[in-house]
Amino acid sequence: MNRLPTLFAGFFLTFAFAWLGLVIIPYIQLEKLGPHESDDGTMLPLPPSGIAQQGAAIYGREGCIYCHSQQVRPANRGSDIARGWGTRATVARDYIYDRTVYLGTMRTGPDLANIGARQDSPEWHHKHLYSPETMSPGSIMPAYTYLYRVQKIGRFPSPDAIEFYKTDTKVAIPEGYEIVPTEEAKQLVAYLISLKKASYPLPEAPSE
Amino acid sequence: MNFLRNMLHPASAESAGTAVSMPESAAAQRRERAAIDASTRIPVLVFYASAVFWLLFGSLMGLLSSLKMHHPTTGLLADFAMLTFGRVRPAHLNAVAYGWAATAGLGTAIWLMARLCGTRLVNPILPLIAGVFWNAGVALGIYGVLAGDSRSVEWLEFPNYASPCLFISYALLGIWGVMMILQRKPGHIYVSQWYIFAALFWFPWLYGTAQIMINFVPAQGTIQAAVNWWYGHNALGLFFTPIGLATAYYFIPKIIGRPVHSYYLSVIGFWSLAFFYSWNGMHHLIGGPVPLWMQTASVVASCMMLIPVGVTAINHHTTMRGHFHLLKSSPSLRFVVFGAIMYTATSLQGILEAVPWFNKLVHFTHYTVGHAHLGLYSFFTMMMFGAMYYIIPRLVEWEWPSARMISAHFWLTAVGSLLMFLTLTVGGFLQALALNDDKVTFMAIVDMVNPFLQFRSLAGLMMFAGHIIFGTLFVMMLLKFGEKQSGPTTLGNHEDSSL
Amino acid sequence: MMPLLAIAREIEVAWPTQWDQANPFFWVAAGSLVFLGVTAMLGFYWAAQNGQFEKLDEASREIFGADEPIGMVTDRFPEKKRK
């Protein structure tokens, strides 16, 4: 096989074969996938709010995907459902509104596809992002202190300041100071709470 | 038309007088070989020097992210946004994959192209510009990741202002590759050239498709994930693997002075790799939200990888048979053979990981991280070290200054990478068993894996020490440091050498 | 062929409901897929018949030459030059 055209025809055919099969055909199959109208007329999945979409960008920027997946596998393909990470497996339709799909490949931390359904308190998320060890002893998650401001308390405390209990020795706040989330922290938390990918039934994925 | 005729019938190019005529005597051939090597000097050294820089930078980033996994809050670096784990880790991957591995691979490919085409470098300015663009793209991309512009798509983290640089660089190399092929001396196209041509042809297609469908005009939903892993797996299988194998198919026979045992097997290996590897990607999404038929197709194709991997392993082993004693005396051979063995190991492990019952266990664990290091480090990186030990003396016409340092480099990186593989494999497997048992709490798993991660940092430190030794050797070579050593590599020593 | 069989088997199972009405592009793509795969395999068959896989050992000797003949070891550790 010493003739270049023969070689290149081989390179082209083998590669184009897989390109069509794993890129183009899936594209045609999935590009028009739309929301599903449930019996009560709700369109599922729910479209995300603007602030949650901004938070998704923060999630991407900080590289959360390197420790947290966002996919629930079927009950026969792992313990995801048994661990309470979702009531059903996630399917392609759950991701149609994601600008970037954060499926992830690693579970150094738990799966987050359905975190908004498990933990919907913004206060908990803020405390956890500021000091993971306080909220979840033993955690090796990095603290995102740079998404928060430590500022002197003015005439009144800020309404959205995060209050740690006095017993939380992990966080040292100087007397007369308060911890206030930045816009970015609020966006990120709004995004986390919006993650409810495996909490509503779809025809192709009924709750198990 | 001339162009086309030369392409179809390289023999006629000779009569037309465009190709280099074959020298008659051994001395003339030696001069010609040295001239060909010398013609690649500047572009190859530019690629190699930047590769060594990125290797050091990338392993530092790797070490930092490894430390952060067991000491997340200690040290001054914890509160610094640019050095948070989620940014340092992709900086590590991109620095070692695109900065080190690809750059070293392309440098080696340029040198191999010149030697195998039997012609001096044509348009050396093209690969040089490509090298500049490539490094600019990598630098811009890594800065972007650290500064908070990461796309958070594994293997494609570079922001949109950096990735076109890589594409342009690669397209230039592709054009240059075609120019080289058209100037080649008549005769057979050696199997290493097939691998290099194929890699040069496939990668822009891969990279272009993935960038467009994920980052520039994002496709809807999990199509992105499918394209992501089609790209991620093919970047390994249809770019790094072909260049690594081209290196093995050239250097093993060349160093030991024995033709490859069965050229027929190497042909089978090449085409089965092209046919099956390209279908492998979706095994990264087993159980995930993409159509089941895609996962099934990839699992089948992954199992079929037994053919190319098996024939390549048999071929390299039988070529080496009776020559293993040379591992003691040849530094290049030592690295290349180690890499070839690890290619077989990592591929067989990869096939196992694609089998659904096993994938169900180890998906999402450090086991996969161990596999990735076995492939890109123990196979590809060691292969590149081997090639560089052979090529650089022939470029700078100076012999490596210290045999002891080469040995230390080999043992630190070989043992370090195997220790890293072992600790991640054992730790990852235990993690997998625990994750699949829903009665084990998540925090108990975090605690259990921790000692393995600490040991991983230690292994990484060994590898980093090896890299510093290699970096030092490289700089010493560029500066022609120390007293002249004798070896078979430099032209002057050929004449009075007994070899 | 195996991936094709897998596709054929799974199409019924994994087809989204919106896909009741046939999309012409799908058939173009699927047709091209089969065409490329079959062409690639016919190409290999042709190449084998045409003698492209013969006399391969000549090619394996391509990397040697009069200056570096078969049997010559071309790499070893450096040594201090003997005076």
Would you call B43 an interface residue with chain C, using a CB distance cutoff of 8 Å?
no
Does residue B418 carry a pLDDT above 90?
yes
Cis ω on the peptide bond leading into residue A45 (within 30° of 0)? yes
In this structure, of A132-141, A155-164, B155-164, B481-490, the range with the lowest mean pLDDT score is: B481-490
Residues 343-402 of B with CB under 8 A from C: 389-390, 399-402
d(CA B281, CA B354): 10
Pick among C33, C46, C50 to test the A interface (most A CBs inside 10 A)? C33
Question: Which residues on C lie below 8 Å from B390 (Cβ)?
Answer: 74-75
pLDDT at A164: 76
Banded pLDDT at C2 (limits 50, 70, 90): low
Does residue B12 carry a pLDDT above 50?
no
d(CA B78, CA B68): 8
Residues B428 and B359: beta-carbon distance below 8 Å: no
Rounded CA Rg of chain A: 22
d(CA A109, CA B298): 27
Does residue B357 carry a pLDDT above 90?
no
pLDDT at B1: 36
Could you give the C-alpha distances from B116 to B13, B30, B192, in angstroms and in order?
A: 17, 15, 8
Look up residue B199 and give its two tokens: 């890699």
Residues B339 and B316: beta-carbon distance below 8 Å: no
Banded pLDDT at C49 (limits 50, 70, 90): confident
Strands (E), B98-192: none
Residues B86 and B473: beta-carbon distance below 8 Å: no
**Which class for C82: exposed (0-12), middle (13-18), buried (19 or more C-beta within 10 A)?**
exposed
Contact C68 B257 (CB under 8 A): yes
Residues B327 and B381: beta-carbon distance below 8 Å: no
Contact B263 C77 (CB under 8 A): no
Residues 106-135 of B with CB under 8 A from C: 115-116
* A181: helix, strand or coil: strand
What is the mean predicted confidence (pLDDT) over B152-176? 95
pLDDT at B3: 41
pLDDT at B321: 93
Would you call B195 an interface residue with chain C, using a CB distance cutoff of 8 Å?
no
- Chain A / chain B CB contacts < 8 angstroms: 222
Which region holds residue A36: left if phi is over 0, alpha if psi is between -120 and 50, else beta? beta
Residues B30 and C74: beta-carbon distance below 8 Å: no
What is the mean predicted confidence (pLDDT) over B424-436? 96
The string of pLDDT tens digits covering residues C20-45 is 445 566 677 677 778 878 887 888 78
What is the helix (H) or strand (E) element at residue A151, kind and residue range?
A: strand A148-152
pLDDT at B144: 97
Sequence-distant (6+) residues with CB within 8 A of B114 are B36, B37, B39, B40, B120, B121, B180
What is the mean predicted confidence (pLDDT) over B85-98? 96
d(CA B120, CA B42): 13
pLDDT at C81: 56
d(CA B493, CA C17): 74
Does residue B341 carry a pLDDT above 60?
yes
pLDDT at B72: 82
In this structure, of B4-8, B136-140, B441-445, the range with the lowest mean pLDDT score is: B4-8
What is the mean predicted confidence (pLDDT) over A99-125? 95
Mean pLDDT value across chain B? 90
Count of helices and strands (H, E) across chain C: 3, 1
Task: Please report, as a single letter, which amino acid is at residue B333.
Answer: L
d(CA A49, CA A189): 12
What is the mean predicted confidence (pLDDT) over B474-492? 72
The string of pLDDT tens digits covering residues A8-51 is 888 999 999 999 999 999 998 888 888 999 888 889 999 999 99
The Cα of C65 is separated from the nearest Cα of chain A by a number of Å equal to 19
pLDDT at B15: 38
In this structure, of A1-5, B82-86, B120-124, B308-312, the range with the lowest mean pLDDT score is: A1-5
Question: Does ipTM surpass 0.85 in this model?
Answer: yes
What is the mean predicted confidence (pLDDT) over B147-160? 95
Banded pLDDT at B497 (limits 50, 70, 90): very low
What is the mean predicted confidence (pLDDT) over B444-459? 96
Of the candidates A155, A192, A202, A203, which has an alpha carbon nearest to the alpha carbon of residue A48?
A192
Does residue A85 carry a pLDDT above 50?
yes
| CB atoms near residue B421 (< 10 Å) | 25
pLDDT at B493: 41
Contact C79 B485 (CB under 8 A): yes
